[in-house]
Amino acid sequence: MSRIWNFSAGPAALPQVVLERAQRELLNWNGSGASVMELSHRGKLFMELAARAENDVRELADIPADYAVLFLQGGATQHFAQLPMNLASQGDSADYIVTGHWGEKAASEAAPYVNVHVAAHSRDTGYMQLPPRASWALDPRAAYVHYTPNETIHGVEFHEVPDVGQVPLVADMSSDIFSRPIDVRRFGVIYAGAQKNIGPSGLVVMIVRRDLLERASRPMAKIFRYADHAANDSMLNTPNTWGWYLAGLTFEWMKEQGGLAAIAARNDAKAAKLYRAIDSSNGYYRNPVALDARSRMNVPFTLHDDKLDALFLQESEAAGLLALKGHKAVGGMRASLYNAVPVEAVEALVAFMQDFAARHG
């Protein structure tokens, strides 16, 4: 069976060369005679892999020494709760900027551990635009400010890092991490589930300013404390070795692509090509998001007649275009254009959309 063009929102496409290398190495990784999944995470070979992956990600994102890089588990959703446990003391408040489903969930899951203050939201627009920075009611005494730079479901994205003063900025970058250069120094914490731009699901990469690791003052088990994970090189317990390995291969692939600047240029071109096809369709296809908030990673769109949705999905899948169904909260279609989705995939999607409109116009 030939490979298809995968537009899934997550778990999402991985670079084919990464998958092919993992396939070659599956039974005999690094001359060990065993799979990487079968070897001790504390053995020399895996420790070297872990160090190389961290070095590569530090190089890619220009991460300074005063930030720790952690390879954790639980998905971003677990860290919605774990972050306030580590960054806020009993009675503290934190500001949340809510611009979609995942921002809402982050605030909800944090509520048992910190006084959540929604400092800005865009619910009244159906999450189709971003709240103007001037409208944010930030508290300078907040433990941190949390936001979601890219919302996968609604397809909105911050194109600049917001200025929140001296309060640590915490970003759930699950769906846009490493899609463009990052000024890590603007953040207190960056965290991301791996299954969009890094690797398989089940792994979380966290970049955290080291001084924030000392904040956790409430009683908690060591497994929940980021400082303990950092002190043990992310091996406080047995890590997701397979996910870590594939993430390392993906970091190598990113470097081979020319780094994050080159990846950003390709992502911009892919998104522009798809938005251009939507906007030039004379209303056959529509994207509901405000122009200045359109996501480069997740492009939702509707057809002029929703009665055609099922046929569009049936024909697109038959044409080798996978996972274009929009989220149930929004409906319509959604194409996710993560790093591993090649330009050729977007070209194939645009050609199909134009052909479909010509045949069912």
Which residues fall within 8 angstroms of residue 47, CB to CB, at 6 or more apart?
41
CA distance 5 to 323: 9
Do 16 and 344 form a contact (C-beta atoms < 8 A)? no
Q: Which listed residue (56, 172, 176, 233) is catalytic?
A: 172
β-strands 285-286, 169-172 pairing: unpaired
Task: Report the C-alpha gap between 162 and 144 in whole angstroms.
Answer: 13
Orientation angle between helical segments 343-359 and 259-279, nearest 10 degrees: 0
- Please say if 172 is a catalytic residue: yes
Cβ atoms of residues 144 and 87 within 8 Å: yes
- The alpha carbons of the chain give a radius of gyration, in whole angstroms, of 21
User: Token pair of 293, please?
Assistant: 């908030």
Q: What are phi and psi of 320, to 5 degrees?
A: 85, 25
For residues 84 and 217, give the distance between their C-alpha atoms in angstroms, rounded to a whole number: 11
Rounded CA separation 122/55 (Å)? 38
Q: Specify whether the CB–CB gap between 247 and 318 falls below 8 A.
A: no
One of 5, 29, 95, 196 is an active-site residue; which one?
196
Helix (H) or strand (E) holding 62: none
Please list the alpha-helical segments (H only) found in 177-333: 226-231, 241-256, 259-279, 309-318
Q: How far apart are CA 304 and CA 220, in angstroms?
A: 53
Active-site entry in 29, 102, 244, 253: 102
CA 265 to chain CA centroid, Å, is 18
Determine the Cα–Cα distance for residues 215 and 320; give it in Å rounded to an integer: 50
- Enumerate the β-bridge partners of residue 36: none
Catalytically active residues are: 102, 172, 196
